[in-house]
């Protein structure tokens, strides 16, 4: 790929304090406060259970908030895996004379209804009946759709 050519646009400029730095600072502060709160919670558990539960609740909420922030603000590197995907394509050929069916990998120049190659079983010519993406069984998920 010719990726060295000049580009039409530019990446968004990042100047001054970046949002990711602020996020990190918030996470650290909340984390420290939550840890201290949890410490007090465990320390005062035997003496005063109501106070202990309150501290533990505050600590747990702090960690929940951190989890929420991390979950929402996904890092860019985690998102950009394969940007332009490539699918595996297969071509199905059928002989109109003897109904022989054959599946092979797609070759550039294949198109649906093209008279492609001689039939291996009879003297007919095989026609491309389908060009489609190969099914990926691993990626199928049951969504639990209400029907």
Partner 1 sequence: MTVLFAQILQQETDLNMIIQTLFSFAFIVYLFYAQRLQSLQMLNQIEATLRRLKKIRDEARGISINAINEVGKPGVDISAKVDRIMEFISIPLTEMDPYGIVDKLDHYLKVNHDIFEAEVKAIAPNAAEVERQNLENLVGLTFELNYIYKAMRHNYLMGKKTMNIYIILQVHMILPLIMQLVESLTVGIQATREGIPIGDSVGPIVAGRLMKDYPKRDISKEMVSAEVPFDGRTLIVMKAKGPGGTVGTPDEAIMTALNEKEGKVKIIIMIDAAGKMEGEPVGAISEGVGAAIGGTGKEKFKIEEITVKYKVPIHAIAIKQGMEHTMAPLVEELAEGAEKAGESVKRIIMDYSQPGDIVIVAGIGNTIGVGQ
Binding site for partner 1 (CB under 8 A): 1-3, 5-9, 11-12, 14, 18-20, 22-23, 26, 29-30, 33, 36-37, 40, 48, 50-51, 54-55, 69, 72-76, 79-80, 83-87, 89, 106, 108-114, 127, 130-133, 135, 145-147
Write the CA distances from 136 to 84, 88, 133, integer angstroms: 18, 9, 9
For partner 1, the closer CB: 64 or 112: 112
Least distance in Å: CB of 88 to partner 1?
A: 9
DSSP, collapsed to helix, strand or coil, labels residue 44 as coil
Both structure tokens of 71? 């979950």
SS3 25: helix
Q: How far is the CB of 120 from partner 1 (least distance, A)?
A: 22
Closer to partner 1 by CB, 10 or 123: give it: 10
* CB nearer partner 1, residue 27 or residue 100: 27
Rounded to whole angstroms, how far apart are CA atoms 45 and 32? 20
Closest approach of partner 1 to the CB of residue 112, in Å: 5
Q: How far is the CB of 123 from partner 1 (least distance, A)?
A: 18
CB contact burial 8-31 (16+ within 10 A = b; e otherwise): eeeeeeeeeeeeeeeeeeebeebe
């Amino acid at each position: 790929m010719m990726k060295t050519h000049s580009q039409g646009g530019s990446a968004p400029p990042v100047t001054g304090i970046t949002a990711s730095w602020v996020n990190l600072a918030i996470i650290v502060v909340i984390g420290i406060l939550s840890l201290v709160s949890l410490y007090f919670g465990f320390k005062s558990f035997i003496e005063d259970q109501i106070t202990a539960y309150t501290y533990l609740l505050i600590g747990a909420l702090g960690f929940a908030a951190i989890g929420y922030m991390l979950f929402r603000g996904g890092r860019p590197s985690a998102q950009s895996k394969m940007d332009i995907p490539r699918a595996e394509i297969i071509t199905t050929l059928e002989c109109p004379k003897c109904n022989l069916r054959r599946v092979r990998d797609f070759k550039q120049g294949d198109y649906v209804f093209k008279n492609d190659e001689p039939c291996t079983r009879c003297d007919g010519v095989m026609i491309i009946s389908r060009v489609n993406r190969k099914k990926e069984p691993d990626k199928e998920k049951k969504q639990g759709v209400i029907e």
